[in-house]
Structure 1
Amino acid sequence: MTTTPKSIIADIKRKQPKINRVIFTGCGASMSDLYPAYYFVAQESKHLLSAIKQANEFNYAAPKNIGADTIVITASLGGTTPESIAATKYARELGAHVITLSHDPNSPIVKEAEYSLIHGFEEDYAHKTEKMKMALELAVEIVNQFESYEFYDEAQNAFDGIFALINEEAAMSEPAAIEFADRYQNEDKIYVLGSGATTGVAYSTASFLFMEMQWISAPTINSGEFFHGPFELAVKDAPYLLFMNDGQTRHLDARALEFLQRFETKNTVIDAKDHNLASVASKNVIDYFNPILLTGVMRIYAVKLSEKRQHPLTKRRYMWKLENY
C-alpha cells in the first residue's frame, strides 16, 4: 500500500499526468483540519482550481466536471462519519483520485478510498495536529509535482521541525492556559478571531472545543471582517480569543487586537510569533504552518478550561447518544 504523501501523489501523476482541480471535503474538525491544505493550493498554485466543501454538501451538490483530472482529499478521525464515507465513495464513482486521512487503518472510510494516510492522535499535543500536517504535506506535493514549488525544501524543513516545537511550546504554555481558564470559566460566549490559513483553526476552536465540548457559544470572525460589522460588540470585558499569525496576514490580526485593547475587552492572544514559529518555518512558508502550531498550543488551553469548568472535553448532550438526527 502507498503510504507517504510524496509516493501517493507520484502514483496519481503516473496515472494522470495532468490535474486541473483539488477538492478537500469532510465534516466538523476534520474539515477544519483540511483548511490549511486548501489554502496552500489556493495561494501557491498557478493553475489548479481548489475548493473546500462540507462532506454532505459535496454529496448533494458536488462541483461539476469532477473526473480523472481531479484529486479529492477526505478526512475522518475515526473513519466512521457517514457523510464523509459517502463523499469518499461518491468522489470515486465520479472518477476522481481519492485520498483519505484517518486514525483507524481498518475504518470504513479507508476501505472506500483509493489511497489512505493513517495519522496519530493520542500520543501528545503535536500528534493531535497530524491530520492537518498530512493534508498540508499532500497539498505541497500536489503543487510541487504537478507545477514545481519554489520553496519545497523550506516546507520540508518546517515539517521536520514542527512537532518538536509544538510539544515544547504547549508545555511552556501551561501557566498561560491556567490563567485563561481562570478568566473565562464563567463565560457563556467567547468570540474567536483568526485570519489566513488559521481561519480554519478559529472555526474549529469555536465550533468544537467551545460549542461542542464546552457548550459555550462561540461566533467565529475573520480578523479582516471584524471591522465590517462584528466590532460593534467589542465593549468592556466582552470575551475574545485571537489567534495571531506570523506571516502575511499578521497585520489583520494586529489591527483587530489594537481595537480590542482600545475598548478594554477581555482578550487573550495566542501568537505564533511568541511561540517561535520562525525557528522552524522560513518567511516563504510560514503562513501555512501557523495553524498547525496554534492548534497544538490551543489544546492545552482547552484542557485547562475544561478542568476549571469541571466539564470534560468528552461530555456530550447529543453526539454519540442520539441514533437519528
Structure 2
Amino acid sequence: MTVTPKSIIEDIKKKNPNINRVIFTGCGASMADLYPGYYFVAHESKKMLSVIMQANEFNYDTPKDVGENTIVITASLGGTTPESIAATKHARELGAHVVTLSHDESSPIVKEAEYQLIHGFEKDYANKTAKMTLALNLAIEIVNQFEGYEYYDEAQTAFNGLFDLINHEANMVTPAAEEFAEKYKDDKTIYVLGSGATAGAAYSTASFLFMEMQWITAPTIHSGEFFHGPFELALKDTPYLLFVNDGPTRHLDARALEFMQRFDAKITVIDAKDHNLASIASNNVIDYFNPMLITGVMRVYAEKLSEARKHPLTQRRYMWKLENY
C-alpha cells in the first residue's frame, strides 16, 4: 500500500483518537518548510495546540506534555541533520507519534521515525517545494480527520493543480529573475518581507538562499512588523524583496509596499496573484498555498542572482567543511 499523509494520519487516529497537540520541528530550511503546516493547524484547529520549534530547542527544552497525545513532524532534506535525528528519536522515546519528511529513504532520520514520507527535490522547481507541500498536506489531514475541515475538498483541488502551476510560472519568470539579479548583484544587504503562511518562506529565502548560499546579509521582517521599527531604514535605494500573498494577509504586504514606494526604495515584488494562484486555490484555502508557489518562483531568482554574482548556490565557507561546530 502506498504511504500517504492521509493513510499515516488514519493509522495514528486508530491508535489514539485523542490527539491534542502537533509539534513541527527541524533545522534550517527544513524547519522553514514545516511552517505552512504549523500555520494551518494554528489557524484552523479549534482543539489542538500547534507549535513550531527548532530541533535542538526541542531536544534541550522539550515541552512538558509531549507524549501519546502528540504528533511530532520532523524533517531533514538529506536525513542526516544531527539535531533533527535526535529530535525524532527523543519524540519517539516520549511516546509521541512521529512522522518524518526526507529526500533519502535510507537516511538516519527515516530509520528513527515511526512514519516516513519520502519526497523528490531535484526533478523540477515544483519538487523544490515537495517537503513544504507534504507538511501542509499532513496538517490538513490532521485537522480534517480529528475534528473536520469544511474546505477539505477545495484543498485537495489546490494540491492537484499546485505542481503544474509552480513549474509553469517558474518557467515564465526568467526575464524578471535576470532583471532582479542585475539590480541586486552588488548589494551587501537585502531585506526580505512576507506574512501569513509565507512568513516561513521569507525566513528561508533570507537565511538560506541569501545568507548561506550567497553570503548576503538578509534580515527577515514580517510585513505586519515592518511599521514597528524596521521602517526607519526605508530610504532611497534600500534593497527589499517582498513576498505578496493572495489571501487574507495581502493587506499587510501591500501596506509595506506602499510605504517603501513613498521613499523610493529598491523593491522587488513576487506576488502570488501575478502568478495565478487563484486559478487552482479557492478563497477558502488560498492563504496556505502561497508559500509553495512563491518558493518555487523564488528559486529561479536565486539561481539568476548566483550567476550574476559568480557565486554558485553550492558554495560554502563552513557547512560540509568543518567537523566541529
Smaller-chain TM-score bracket: over 0.9
Instruction: State how 1:140-179 maps to structure 2 within 5 Å.
Output: 140-179=140-179
SS in 1 for 2:34: helix
Alpha-carbon separation, structure 2, partners of 1:184 and 1:193: 16
- Which residue does the alignment assign to 1:314? 314
User: Displacement of 1:31 after TM fit?
Assistant: 0.1
Name the SS of the counterpart of 1:6 in structure 2.
Answer: helix
1:126 and 2:126 correspond: yes
Q: Within 5 Å, give how 1:1-325 maps onto structure 2.
A: 3-325=3-325
> In 2, are the aligned partners of 1:23 and 1:52 still within 8 Å (CA)?
yes
Q: SS of 1:189's equivalent?
A: coil
Distance apart, 1:3 and its partner CA:
1.4
Secondary structure, in 3 states, of the residue corresponding to 1:322? coil
Runs of 5+ consecutive residues of structure 1 not aligned to the other structure: none
> Considering only aligned residues, what root-mean-square deviation do their CA atoms show, in Å?
0.6
What is the identity percentage for the equivalent residue pairs of Structure 1 and Structure 2?
79
Structure 1: distance between partners of 2:222 and 2:191: 11
Give the distance between the partners of 1:243 and 1:137, measured in 2 at CA.
22
Distance 1:2 1:89 in 2: 24
State the TM-score, normalized to the length of structure 1: 0.99
In the alignment, the residues of structure 1 paired with residue 45 and residue 65 of structure 2 have an alpha-carbon distance, to the nearest angstrom, of: 19
2: distance between equivalents of 1:156 and 1:237? 42
CA contact (8 A) 1:277 1:290 kept: yes
For these two proteins, the number of residue pairs brought into alignment is 325
Query: Would you say the 8 A contact 1:194–1:222 is kept in 2?
Result: yes
Give 2:126's aligned amino acid: A
Alpha-carbon distance in 2 for matches of 1:172, 1:17 = 46
Q: Hey, which bits of structure 1, 4+ residues long, moved more than 6 A?
A: none
Amino acid at match of 1:140: I
Q: 2: CA distance between counterparts of 1:228 and 1:5?
A: 39
Distance 1:267 1:76 in 2: 32
Cα deviation for residue 2 of structure 1 reads: 6.2
Equivalent position amino acid for 1:207 in 2: S
State the shift of 1:315 in Å: 0.1
1:88-126 deviation per Cα after TM superposition (whole angstroms, max 9, x unaligned): 000000000000000000000000000000000000000
**TM-score calculated relative to the size of structure 2:** 0.99
Q: What is the SS of the residue equivalent to 1:172?
A: coil
